[in-house]
């Protein structure tokens, strides 16, 4: 009942003329592109997830999650850009082997007002578009850091626009991504040297890699069993692998839409974009 375009969010080139204002993006997402003079953290996409709702009461809903603003520090409030459109795109697919078309059968466009000085919440306008035509809008608000952390008083908007029922939450959540970034670069360098290093780039048979986080050496074979039950392979075992995103948060847009309202599927391609007004 689902098909993803990829595990990471995808930023497409967007150029939409609205009252002489253009919205443009041109950078692909790789979970964390870092901040720069031309792209603030609030414009940095991280991950995109789509699945049939796991709530037993709503197994007929499509859940779509858009993560952005990576490396958000605990205890610090972060906000959506008021100069950007945060969009979740949906394309209906006939068969799982079909080539993705990136056709925008539905677009769910989220736009934020400036944060309230007291509540730290932002008013949100969700515009629902079908085949490029607006069906209407839904208004709601984000959830503050304090309420999201306590998992209480969450602002969950449940409304419909043009016959499309939407339920959404927007606010900070713990980053679900797990990445041992240091070992990744160690493995990449080892494999490059082993297969493409040496004389004439034919491979370096003596290439080596540092012991893993349990100080176990890599013996050259995959899945070598040790007395502690772990398999010794190129990457660190889960028990001690350092997580680059540990204790970091992200901002999340979580959207649920009835599958029937999307035309019944049965398959969908979905992706996220952030576009900024010039």
Domain boundaries, the chain: 16-177+246-277, 181-232
Mean pLDDT of the chain: 83
Residue 53 has a pLDDT of 81
Burial string for 15-31 (b: 16+ CB within 10 Å, else e) reads: eeeeeeeebebeeebeb
For the cut 70, the answer to whether the pLDDT of residue 14 exceeds it is no
- C-beta of residue 30 within 8 angstroms of C-beta of residue 68: no
Q: What is the mean pLDDT of residues 13-17?
A: 29
- C-beta of residue 177 within 8 angstroms of C-beta of residue 46: yes
Residue closest to 81 by CA, chosen among 271, 270, 249, 251: 251
Q: Which residues pair with 63 in a beta bridge?
A: 51, 256
Structure confidence by residue, pLDDT tens digits, 205-233: 899 899 988 888 887 554 455 555 565 67
Q: For 222, phi and psi rounded to 5 degrees?
A: -90, 140
Residue closest to 64 by CA, chosen among 273, 271, 274, 278: 271
Q: What is the pTM of this model?
A: 0.77
- Give the contacts of 191 (CB within 8 A, at least 6 positions apart): 234
Cα within 13 Å of Cα(174), Cβ side: 9
Which has more pLDDT, 114 or 220? Answer: 114
């Amino acid at each position: 009942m689902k098909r993803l375009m990829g595990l990471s969010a995808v930023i497409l080139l967007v150029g939409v003329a609205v009252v002489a204002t253009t919205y443009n993006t041109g950078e692909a997402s790789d979970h964390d592109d870092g901040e720069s003079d031309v792209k603030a953290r609030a414009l940095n996409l991280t991950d995109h997830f789509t699945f049939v709702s796991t709530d037993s009461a709503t197994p007929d809903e499509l859940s779509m999650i858009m993560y952005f603003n990576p490396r958000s520090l605990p205890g610090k409030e972060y906000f959506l850009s008021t100069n950007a459109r945060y969009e979740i795109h949906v394309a209906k697919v006939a068969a799982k082997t079909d080539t993705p078309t990136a056709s925008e059968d539905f677009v769910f466009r989220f736009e934020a007002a400036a944060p309230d000085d007291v509540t730290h919440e932002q008013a949100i306008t969700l515009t629902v578009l079908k085949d490029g035509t607006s069906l209407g809008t839904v208004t709601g608000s984000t959830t503050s850091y304090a309420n999201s952390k306590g998992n209480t008083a969450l602002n969950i908007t449940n409304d419909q626009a043009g016959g499309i029922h939407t339920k959404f939450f927007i606010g900070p959540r713990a980053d679900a991504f797990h990445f041992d970034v240091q070992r990744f670069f160690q493995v990449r360098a080892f494999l490059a040297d082993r297969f493409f290093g040496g004389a004439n780039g034919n491979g370096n048979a003596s290439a080596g890699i540092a012991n893993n986080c349990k100080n176990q050496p890599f013996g050259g074979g995959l899945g070598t069993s040790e007395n502690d039950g772990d398999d010794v392979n190129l990457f660190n075992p889960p028990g001690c692998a350092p997580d680059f995103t540990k204790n970091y948060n992200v901002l999340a847009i979580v959207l649920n839409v009835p599958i029937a309202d999307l035309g019944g599927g049965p398959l969908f391609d979905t992706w996220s974009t952030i576009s900024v007004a010039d």
